């Protein structure tokens, strides 16, 4: 049987991302609301990085800037040494909400990116991704016929079919039930390892960040600074009760002002 990995060209290398003295603010009427404060960070090709921090600290804003959806106000954002100025197919952002087109079926939504780029021949890969996301029976369903979690899985399949070099994930598993979320965490690891893209994940789940990432970046309240970086030099799959993960979890809770054990 042909595997999902074999349906893709897995030779693409992930992007190197350089964030240099990045600051950003929202202009709300006559007020200016600082969001990011002089962030500097290098993300290596094929690395998986998670961003943790208080709600509203600017994590999602950083993803939008990396995707090229918002202009850089101060500092620099570089992808393989090139200034990020606009969206590109090699940099894909998966939003908190699925943003599926309601008039297109699951399969049609998943194939949207390649079709918009004039690409063909990815039908089998699309079907394999849909099946892997547990949506095989809903290939021809419309978004209104899906649960919130199912719609988000379809959005993930749509993003992955584009074979991104940088995959930006804004709490993509937040609407899934706990068992499905655990299954999708494993699938994200497998797909990341097989496709080789660079991954940046925003999550509020400390355990999820430690399970999925090479590095976890902890950000301060707005305007966000980088408080600390935690390296996770463990092979996959990881055990949730591994001593290093438990220690990192407690240290992150302390950094975020949650010193007590849960």
Q: Domain map of the chain by residue range?
A: 5-90+164-255
The superfamily CATH assigns to domain 5-90+164-255 is P-loop containing nucleotide triphosphate hydrolases (3.40.50.300)
Q: What is the pLDDT of residue 121?
A: 82
Burial class (CB in 10 A: 0-12, 13-18, 19+), 127: middle
Q: Rounded CA gap, 25 and 33, in Å?
A: 5
Reported as half-sphere exposure (CB side, CA atoms, 13 A), residue 57 has a value of 21
Cβ proximity of 139 and 124 under 8 Å: no
Torsion sign over Cα 61, 175, 173, 2: negative
191-239 per-position pLDDT tens digit: 899 889 999 999 999 999 999 999 999 999 999 999 999 999 999 989 9
pTM comes to: 0.89
90-108 per-position pLDDT tens digit: 999 998 888 899 999 999 9
């Amino acid at each position: 049987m042909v595997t999902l990995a074999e349906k893709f060209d897995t030779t693409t290398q992930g992007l190197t991302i350089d964030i240099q003295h990045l600051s950003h603010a929202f202009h709300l009427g006559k007020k200016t609301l600082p969001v990011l404060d002089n962030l500097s960070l290098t993300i290596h090709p094929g690395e998986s990085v998670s961003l943790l921090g208080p709600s509203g600290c600017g994590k999602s804003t950083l993803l939008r800037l990396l995707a090229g959806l918002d202009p850089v106000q101060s500092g620099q954002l570089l992808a393989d040494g090139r200034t990020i100025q606009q969206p590109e197919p090699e940099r894909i952002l998966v939003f908190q909400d699925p943003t599926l087109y309601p008039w297109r079926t699951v399969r049609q939504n998943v194939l949207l990116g390649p079709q918009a780029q004039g690409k063909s021949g990815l039908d089998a890969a699309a079907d394999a991704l849909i099946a892997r996301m547990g949506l095989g029976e809903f290939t021809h369903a419309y978004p209104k016929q899906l649960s919130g979690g199912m719609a988000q899985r379809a959005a993930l399949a749509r993003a992955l079919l584009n074979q991104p070099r940088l995959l930006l994930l804004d709490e993509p598993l937040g609407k899934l039930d706990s068992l499905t979320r655990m299954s999708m965490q494993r699938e994200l690891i497998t797909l990341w390892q097989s496709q080789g893209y660079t991954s940046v994940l925003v999550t509020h789940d400390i355990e999820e960040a430690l399970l999925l990432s090479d590095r976890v970046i902890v950000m301060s309240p707005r305007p966000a600074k980088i408080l600390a970086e935690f390296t996770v030099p463990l092979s996959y799959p990881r055990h949730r009760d591994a001593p290093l993960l438990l220690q990192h979890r407690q240290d992150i809770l302390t950094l975020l002002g949650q010193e007590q054990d849960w």
